[in-house]
């Protein structure tokens, strides 16, 4: 068999193989810049590694539909990673992690979030922790130009010097209905918040009703 016959036979075999491949991929259209499918399509590399990249570090954009990967794992060059199966998102960067939407605003999903460590908002003072406690008690009548004896409330985790805000639940004849009445709260010692009500007027206050108070504590 001469060289021409061998080449001819090879071309026939190659044509058959390519024809089978094209028939098997009939739902995909290949152009110079796109691969388009007219039905559900699958890319499967078996046990190998599938790489998608742009040689000039251009953007890779997903469509608007759901992007589902049961065991998602992103890993960067330093080995830090995000695993969807465990919910762990860690980074070795000292500058932290930023999610940004199309308008440049920080983007977070709805629902609860937990931050281990301090939280800084827009370059402000870092917040280490927020604590809260409640108690119901009666302030009673307060003499003119005087304050009540401090009332103590337990808020576990509080330290002396923490920032405290006291808020009453409005009720009939509550402290918020009285003229010249003010109040203050402060972290007096470990796990304890102290509360005082003061009458800045020249006459005694009326009887102040029993009401619930919330004490919010901010640690910095």
Written as tens digits, the pLDDT of the chain (220 aa) is 555 554 544 444 445 444 544 444 456 777 777 777 777 777 777 777 777 777 777 777 777 776 666 666 666 666 666 655 555 666 666 665 666 666 766 656 556 677 788 888 888 999 999 999 999 999 999 999 999 999 999 999 999 999 999 999 999 999 999 999 999 999 999 999 999 999 999 999 999 999 999 999 999 9
| Total domains in the fold of the chain | 1
Length of the chain: 220
What is the pLDDT at residue 170? Answer: 96
Specify if 67 maps to a domain.
no
Could you tell me if residue 1 is inside a domain? no
Q: Is residue 114 a part of any domain in this protein? A: no
Q: Does any domain span residue 170? A: yes
Rounded Cα distance, 175 and 169, in Å: 10
Q: Is 188 exposed, middle or buried (0-12, 13-18, 19+ CB in 10 A)?
A: middle
Phi and psi of 194, rounded to 5°? -100, 145
Q: Which residues of 174-187 are buried (b: 16+ CB within 10 A; e: fewer)?
A: bbeebeebebebbb
Q: What is the pTM of this model?
A: 0.57
Nearest Cα to 171, choosing from 141, 138, 149? 138
Which residues constitute the domain of residue 143? Answer: 129-219
Q: Does any domain span residue 14? A: no
N- to C-terminal Cα separation, the chain: 89
What does R_g of the chain's alpha carbons equal in angstroms?
A: 34
Residue 213 lies in a domain: yes
Q: What is the pLDDT of residues 140-185, one digit of tens each?
A: 999 999 999 999 999 999 999 999 999 999 999 999 999 999 999 9
- Assess if residue 18 is contained within a domain: no
Q: Does residue 35 contact residue 42 with C-beta atoms inside 8 Å?
A: no
Domain-located, residue 180? yes
């Amino acid at each position: 068999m001469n060289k021409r016959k061998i080449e001819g036979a090879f071309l026939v075999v190659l044509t058959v193989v390519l024809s089978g491949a094209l028939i098997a991929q009939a739902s995909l259209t290949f152009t110079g810049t796109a691969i388009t499918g007219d039905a559900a399509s699958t890319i499967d590399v078996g046990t190998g590694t599938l790489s998608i990249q742009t040689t000039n570090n251009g953007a890779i954009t997903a469509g608007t539909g759901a992007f589902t990967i049961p065991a998602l794992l992103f890993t960067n060059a330093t080995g830090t990673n995000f695993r969807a199966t465990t919910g762990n998102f860690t980074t070795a960067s000292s500058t932290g992690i930023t999610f940004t939407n199309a308008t440049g605003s920080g983007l977070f999903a709805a629902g609860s979030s937990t931050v281990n460590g301090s939280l800084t908002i827009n370059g402000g003072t870092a917040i280490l922790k927020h604590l809260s406690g409640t108690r119901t008690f009666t302030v009673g009548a307060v003499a003119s130009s005087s304050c009540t004896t401090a009332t103590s409330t337990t808020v576990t985790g509080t330290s002396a010097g923490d920032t405290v805000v006291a808020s009453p639940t409005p009720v009939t004849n509550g402290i918020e209905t009285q003229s010249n009445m003010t109040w203050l709260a402060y972290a007096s010692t470990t796990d304890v918040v102290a509360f005082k009500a003061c009458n800045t007027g020249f006459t005694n206050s009326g009887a102040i009703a029993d009401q619930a108070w919330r004490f919010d504590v901010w640690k910095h």
